[in-house]
């Protein structure tokens, strides 16, 4: 079983190139990032080449965080900003060999927002496809992301239907446990529509070795279904221990 370090949460005391190197030393086989755009991309690509780690994903910009933005692509009237954020992410992904872009929807509701999101996702897919880059959407939970456009699996499936195979789901076990539970059944049901799987302890989003979900069992069960990509460790560390990695790799 392989794991990807989400450097949006892990190794935050280091600059991004050194965080990539730390992930390699710790035994991660891939990395993923939130918003790396303030870091010199040449320094990132040098660290990736040095370590041999692939980048599995990056997010589009949240927008104006101080004004409450948490993504742009479902916000009517802000299409130009949303597409500029998509272009930024595509250019970064091409430069680094990043495999997927998570297009963030934003905090908004309604049918106009749905149409806006679908149109921007089609734009993202057309921009990314020539480079072999996948487009992901991530259903969140309403406790951590109140007001977010995409809450839960049914909302994500409606978007997938409207985009006709242009996007896939980033299935974050933390969010989906809070909203739906029954994680293995949902992963099996959505197997062909999932582009990446992430995990963290529920309910505290810390190390995945405690809480409601037995990840030592769950991730092995998902791997047994044929899922062979690295699982994304997207948790907020409460300690400096990575003991869970060896336990999970050994089936405990």
Same structural domain, 218 and 137: yes
Same domain, 21 and 102: no
Tell me: do 117 and 130 sit in the same domain.
yes
Whether 17 and 81 share a structural domain: no
The reply to whether 135 and 170 lie within a common domain is yes
Same-domain status, 126 and 88:
yes
Range of the domain at 41: 1-55
Q: How many domains does the chain have?
A: 2
pLDDT for res 134: 98
In three-state secondary structure terms, 64 is coil
Q: List pLDDT tens digits, range 158-167.
A: 999 999 989 9
The alpha carbon torsion through 33, 38, 44, 45 (nearest 10 deg) reads 100
pLDDT digits (tens, 9 = 90+) for 224-236: 999 999 999 999 9
C-alpha–C-alpha distance, residues 144 and 129, integer Å:
31
Q: Is 236 left (phi over 0), alpha (psi -120 to 50) or beta?
A: beta
Average pLDDT, the chain: 97
234 and 130, same domain (yes or no): yes
* Domain stops at, among 39, 55, 71: 55
Instruction: Based on the fold, state whether residues 42 and 97 are members of the same structural domain.
Output: no
Residues 135-148 have pLDDT tens digits of 999 999 999 999 99
Question: Do 47 and 116 fall within a single domain?
Answer: no
Spell out a b/e string for 174-185, using b for 16 or more CB atoms within 10 Å of the CB, else e: bbbbbbeeebee
Rg over CA atoms, the chain: 17
pLDDT tens per residue across span 78-126: 999 999 999 999 999 999 999 999 999 999 999 999 999 999 999 999 9
User: Based on the domain organization, do 51 and 151 belong to the same domain?
Assistant: no
136/93 Cα distance (integer angstroms): 13
Work out the percent of the chain whose per-residue pLDDT is above 70.
99
Would you say residue 251 has pLDDT above 70?
no
Note whether 1 and 66 are same-domain residues.
no
In sequence order, which residues have a C-beta less than 8 Å from that of residue 17 and are 6 or more positions away?
39, 43, 44, 46, 47
Annotated catalytic residues are 138, 234
Domain with residue 141: its CATH number is 3.20.20.150
122 and 9 within one domain? no
CA distance 127 to 131: 8
């Amino acid at each position: 079983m392989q794991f990807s370090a989400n450097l949006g949460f892990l190794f935050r005391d280091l600059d991004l190139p050194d965080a990539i190197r730390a992930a390699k030393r710790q035994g991660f086989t891939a990395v993923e990032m939130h918003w790396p755009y303030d870091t010199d991309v040449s320094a990132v690509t040098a660290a990736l080449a040095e370590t041999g780690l692939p980048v599995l994903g990056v997010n589009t910009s949240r927008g104006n965080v101080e004004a409450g933005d948490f993504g742009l692509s479902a916000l009517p009237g802000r299409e130009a900003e949303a597409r500029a954020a998509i272009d930024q992410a595509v250019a970064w992904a091409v430069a680094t060999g990043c495999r997927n872009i998570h297009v963030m929807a934003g905090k908004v509701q309604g049918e106009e927002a749905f149409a806006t999101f679908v149109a921007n996702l089609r734009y993202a897919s057309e921009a990314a496809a020539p480079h072999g880059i996948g487009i992901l959407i991530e259903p969140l939970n309403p406790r951590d992301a109140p007001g977010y456009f995409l809450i839960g699996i049914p909302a994500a499936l409606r978007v997938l239907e409207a985009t006709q195979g242009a996007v896939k789901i980033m299935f974050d076990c933390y969010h989906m446990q809070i909203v739906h539970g029954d994680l293995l059944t949902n992963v099996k049901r959505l197997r062909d529509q999932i582009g990446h799987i992430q995990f963290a302890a529920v309910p505290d989003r810390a190390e995945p070795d405690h809480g409601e979900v037995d990840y030592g069992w769950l991730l092995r069960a998902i791997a047994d279904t044929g899922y062979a990509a690295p699982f994304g460790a997207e948790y907020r560390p409460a300690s400096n221990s990575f003991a869970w990695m060896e336990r999970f790799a050994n089936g405990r």
